[in-house]
Structure 1
Amino acid sequence: MEFTKYSSTLLCSIMLSAFLHHSVYGQNSEENEYGSWFVLCGTTKIHKDWSVPAVGILKHNHMVDKYGFFFFRTGASYHISSASTVTGGMALLNSNSYLEQNDVVNTNQIWFYGEYTLKSKIHGQSISQRVRFENRRLIHTEDPKTNNRIRYRLQYVRPLYKDVYLKAFDEVFLNMEGTTFSQNRIFFGVGRQLTKNLKGDIGYFNRRFRNSSENMIRLGLTFQFDLTDNDLAGLPHTDINN
């Protein structure tokens, strides 16, 4: 009962924060338009203790228009227990920066990362925490700038009806050099178990920076496969996001 009360309070806090972000910072978004954020992610189990994560993200500054970036991440995950996992790997990012109306700069980045995820679950509700270290650097440029940062995400998932669930998370990004605050991400929406190995969710997504904010509709698909099982039975849900 105490856990349920705590979870409900946590969810209300996240949703209230999202509303405040939208109200206070939303006017800084370009023409107050909503962008789109598509995510395909999941894990493939290759051993009783090991799995391979994969995440692909396509972001548009306007709804399915004005390309923002494409991101792909992978690596290897070691499952310490059913509740905790450590992961390491790399990622690639291709992005456009719109300096002026007709001035678009395209850049590429390579990332190296390590993370730790801890999950807890009771009465069907789950809370997961994730801490990630990232080393990011520009490539194919004469000035290969690097950036090190730490991310912390708190996520809450609660069943609503049959295979439909409520999902919310808040993630803060902190730079290890220079200005500490990098950005904050908030999401809340609904999801559904589509098949044994696939689930989808959709909802409101906000990225807040020091002097601006982006409002988006986020659509995510999550897959789970087990190559150690002949019938490819689904894995227990593993929280995977960019």
Structure 2
Amino acid sequence: MGYTKYFSGLLCSIVLSVLSTQSFYAQNSEENEYGSWLVLCGTTKIHQDWSIPTVGIVRHHHMLDTYGFFFFRTGASYRVSKSSTFTGGFALLNSNSYLEPNDVVNTNQLWIYGEYTLKSKFIDNSIAHRLRLENRRLVNTEDAKINNRIRYRLQFKRPVYKDIYFKAFDEIFIDLKGSTFNQNRVFVGIGQQITSSLNADIGYFNQKFKNSTEHMIRLSLSFNIDLTKNELALNPD
């Protein structure tokens, strides 16, 4: 009991400290304007142990303006146990790079990925680990660069009041070739369980690269559909 309260308080303190520090730098840098990160994601259960994950992301460099990229990911998930899942699949990414105000380069990427997730619960607090291996490559280009990387995400979720919850995660990206560090992502926000199969959360989202930092508002809508039953399943996220 005491360990759980200590761990939860420590994790929240660390995440909130990161948020406060990075928000301070954002206020003191003209380059750090807030962008937006819009997510629609969910899982469709088609068998007792099999499901189809779906993720769509639209990213803007400025709040709901200046297109950054569109990302779509899907695949198949196999439930190993009540708390662990293996997933494999592919993703497509279309992005714009702004070299100059009037010089925009549009590229497309194909990703092949595999991941393992493990969830645990301490009283009302939910802890989730996710380890993912990605193979990324440019398509429709003569220079089809390939990048392999590993991602690890630690997520914390805690009920606040009735159907309102606090959510935070930290995810680090490691390249398997060349310079090791790729990026780190931090999210801190609140959410609501709208129905038994639908929830939404919003908060501060930070991407830290080698030489730059991006600050965004992240809005996520998550669903869970169970085709093996006559009604929608409870969202396990």
Question: Normalised by the size of structure 2, how large is the TM-score?
Answer: 0.96
Q: State the aligned residue count.
A: 236
What is the distance in 1 between the residues matched to 2:236 and 2:171? Answer: 19
**For residue 6 of structure 2, what is the amino acid of its counterpart?**
K
What is the distance in 2 between the residues matched to 1:8 and 1:117? Answer: 23
What stretches of structure 2 of length at least 5 have no aligned partner? Answer: none
Residue 236 of structure 1 deviates from its aligned partner by 4.7
Per the alignment, residue 213 of structure 1 pairs with: 213
SS of alignment partner, residue 18 of structure 1? helix
Residue 71 and residue 81 in structure 1: after superposition, are their counterparts in 2 closer, same or farther (change >3 A)?
same
**For residue 150 of structure 1, what is the amino acid of its counterpart?**
I
What is the distance in 2 between the residues matched to 1:11 and 1:128? Answer: 15
What is the distance in 2 between the residues matched to 1:183 and 1:10? Answer: 20
What stretches of structure 1 of length at least 5 have no aligned partner? Answer: none
What is the distance in 2 between the residues matched to 1:104 and 1:236? Answer: 39
Q: How does 1:1-242 map to 2 (within 5 A)?
A: 1=1, 2-24=3-25, 31-230=31-230, 232-238=231-237
Residue 5 of structure 1 deviates from its aligned partner by 1.6
Q: Deviations over 1:50-102 (max 9, x none)?
A: 11000000000000000000000000000111110110000000000000111
Residue 33 of structure 1 deviates from its aligned partner by 1.3
Residue 7 of structure 1 deviates from its aligned partner by 1.6
Q: Which runs of 4+ in 1 moved over 4 A?
A: 24-28
What is the distance in 2 between the residues matched to 1:216 and 1:236? Answer: 25
Q: Deviations over 1:12-65 (max 9, x none)?
A: 11221233234347756x633100000000101000001100000000000000
SS of alignment partner, residue 32 of structure 1? coil
What is the distance in 1 between the residues matched to 2:192 and 2:210? Answer: 34
What is the distance in 2 between the residues matched to 1:54 and 1:183? Answer: 23
**For residue 16 of structure 1, what is the amino acid of its counterpart?**
S
Residue 82 and residue 134 in structure 1: after superposition, are their counterparts in 2 closer, same or farther (change >3 A)?
same
Once superposed, what is the RMSD of the aligned Cα atoms? 1.3
What is the distance in 2 between the residues matched to 1:85 and 1:77? Answer: 7
SS of alignment partner, residue 31 of structure 2? helix
SS of alignment partner, residue 6 of structure 1? helix
Residue 10 of structure 1 deviates from its aligned partner by 1.1
**For residue 35 of structure 1, what is the amino acid of its counterpart?**
G
User: Could you say which structure has the greater relative contact order, defined with CA pairs below 8 angstroms and 6 or more residues apart?
Assistant: 1
What is the distance in 1 between the residues matched to 2:191 and 2:76? Answer: 26
Q: Is the 8 A contact 1:70 1:93 kept in 2?
A: yes
**For residue 159 of structure 1, what is the amino acid of its counterpart?**
P
